[in-house]
Structure 1
Amino acid sequence: MVKTSEVAAVAEAIDVLDESLSQRFIALDPNGYFLIKVDRGAAELILEHYGNTIDAKGLAHDPETGEVLSCRGGSRSRSPSAVFRGRSAKEIGIQLTEGEGPHPLSRLDHALYLGRELQKAEHCLRSGVGYVQD
């Protein structure tokens, strides 16, 4: 049996590693970005896709207004270009990547990020814990 102190040490080392990896440069997906939500009433995950354009500096802009998009939200409400709903991360992942396109992902690192976040959201849905997208 693994000691609690060993488990805590491994968890802390993983947290430190993940925090350092989060500081690296990330090229944005020119096909857009996603917001992930948990709908407890419907027992579903919701994945909303929003289009954007990327400028020479790597900043994302609203394709309609040209406004630079901020993680803190913009001056107006945007409507998603597509909405995916499912009961599990796998179900949404299949919708997002298989079958007839278009598929709104153009970067593998973005797909991996979405997979991690959808798994986290599914865990929150299953356990009743609140979900916050990273």
Structure 2
Amino acid sequence: MTVNAEERTKLDNELSNRFIDLDPDGYFIIYLDREQGLICAKHYTNTINDKGLATDPETGEVLACKGSLERTHTTVYTGRTAKELGIEITEKADPCPISKLDHALYLGREFMKAEIALLSGTEYIQD
């Protein structure tokens, strides 16, 4: 069965809107450092409350998905490729800051999108 580009986009958009449990080990903000030729991922800690929402471990406040959020990251991971960045996080970081397989899958896909944007000179927007 062949799937065209429009169908692929529709499928990915639907899958992006599915419910997943948040990772209690934290979240990442991914961005590009074009001057250095790097894919970067800032890691932030969080806790998950009894409603399944991510909260600031220091204040207990729910973390909003959109808008401005003033928090300090714990670590910045970098890589020249998606694979190098993934290895930095999953194999070299001790402890690994990812505890959910679906989170790891998401990050791998995002790192690949970021690498493509870095190589092509296009804008990277984290999903």
TM-score interval for Structure 1 and Structure 2 normalised by the shorter chain = over 0.9
1:89 equivalent in alignment to 2:115 = no
Identity of aligned residues (%): 56
Point out the structure with max Rg over C-alpha.
1
1:51 equivalent in alignment to 2:45 = yes
Q: Paired residue for 2:16?
A: 22
Q: What is the RMSD of the two structures over their aligned residues, measured on CA atoms?
A: 1.5
Amino acid corresponding to residue 120 of structure 1 in structure 2: K
Q: 1:128 aligns with which of 111, 121, 127?
A: 121
Moved over 6 A (4+): none
Q: Paired residue for 1:103?
A: 96
Count of aligned positions = 126
Cα displacement (A) at 1:23: 2.1
Q: Paired residue for 2:105?
A: 112
Q: Paired residue for 1:13?
A: 7
1:98 aligned counterpart, secondary structure: helix
Distance in 1 (CA, whole Å) between partners of 2:92 and 2:17 is 35
1:65 aligned counterpart, secondary structure: coil
Q: Paired residue for 1:77?
A: 70
Q: Deviations over 1:44-93 (max 9, x none)?
A: 1111110001011110001111111011245x521111110111111111
Amino acid corresponding to residue 90 of structure 2 in structure 1: T
Amino acid corresponding to residue 50 of structure 2 in structure 1: A
Cα displacement (A) at 1:28: 0.2
Q: Which one is further off, 58-67 or 96-105? A: 96-105
Amino acid corresponding to residue 109 of structure 2 in structure 1: R
Cα displacement (A) at 1:100: 5.7
The unaligned stretches of length 5 or more in structure 1 are 1-6
Q: Paired residue for 1:39?
A: 33
The unaligned stretches of length 5 or more in structure 2 are none
TM-score calculated relative to the size of structure 1 = 0.88
